[in-house]
Amino acid sequence: MMDVSELGESARYLRQGYQEMMKVHTIPWDGKKRVWVPDEQDAYVEAEVKSEATGGRVTVETKDQKLLTVREAELQPMNPPRFDLLEDLAMMTHLNEASVLHNLRQRYARWMIYTYSGLFCVTINPYKWLPVYTASVVAAYKGKRRSEAPPHIYSVADNAYNDMLRNRDNQSMLITGESGAGKTVNTKRVIQYFAIVAALGDGPGKKALEDHQGRGGGWGLRIPGLTSTPNLLPPRQTLPHPSPPYPALPHIRGLAL
């Protein structure tokens, strides 16, 4: 398991501390009566069942003390508080729409924008800059298994990169979402990560990054069609062009839809 101190100032945006998690996980809870009910404004709200089902309908009381009579089929079971702020939605006891939205809302309220859902990484656009793409974060995720580190697009990229090197096989990454969801930004981050770890090689990640930056080096990326981004390679560094016939090397293909 990663020591969050490796993440520096980025730690609180990626994983909550022990004391904060204990406050959330020790809230009193009655599993037989707590449910989610549909709500026009908030999609779902927390409620407590006040009467048994009669004719397929039940009476519930919401947190703001409103009594509602709803169809039993509309209720969705809640997870115990120990499942709040989960890093992987697939670990929920009750995996339903209301519980997923609740977990994502909780994490987003703490500016933790990355959450796993099985093999996928869910990202919510914060519409502000967060310090989770620094040199120390790149170094912390380099070579880590997904289960060893908090959710991050860097973890997905690193696993794809290492699978390519280990299996000598092509890898694909699909970045999808609605307009404005952050597809372009996350595609930039993926390519940036590949550029940095490939240039670093097998050396100590954090020290190599700091040494390079200390010598006035810079890191960036260039994606076709995104002319506002800086060059992929550090200053004064070029890649040799192989002579034909070109070798068929494994590569990673990224799709942003």
Let me know: does 252 contact 161? Beta carbons within 8 Å. Answer: yes
Determine phi and psi for 252, rounding to 5 degrees: -110, 130
Confirm or deny that 56 is annotated as ligand binding: no
Query: Which residues sit opposite 70 in a β-bridge?
Result: 58
Let me know: does 67 contact 61? Beta carbons within 8 Å. Answer: yes
Radius of gyration of the chain (CA): 23
Confirm or deny that 201 is annotated as ligand binding: no
Confirm or deny that 10 is annotated as ligand binding: no
Confirm or deny that 184 is annotated as ligand binding: yes
Confirm or deny that 217 is annotated as ligand binding: no
Let me know: does 138 contact 209? Beta carbons within 8 Å. Answer: yes
Q: Where are the beta strands (DSSP E) in 96-228?
A: 114-117, 120-123, 171-175
Confirm or deny that 178 is annotated as ligand binding: yes
**Residues annotated in the binding site, as ranges?**
177-184
**Residues annotated in the binding site for ATP, as ranges?**
177-184
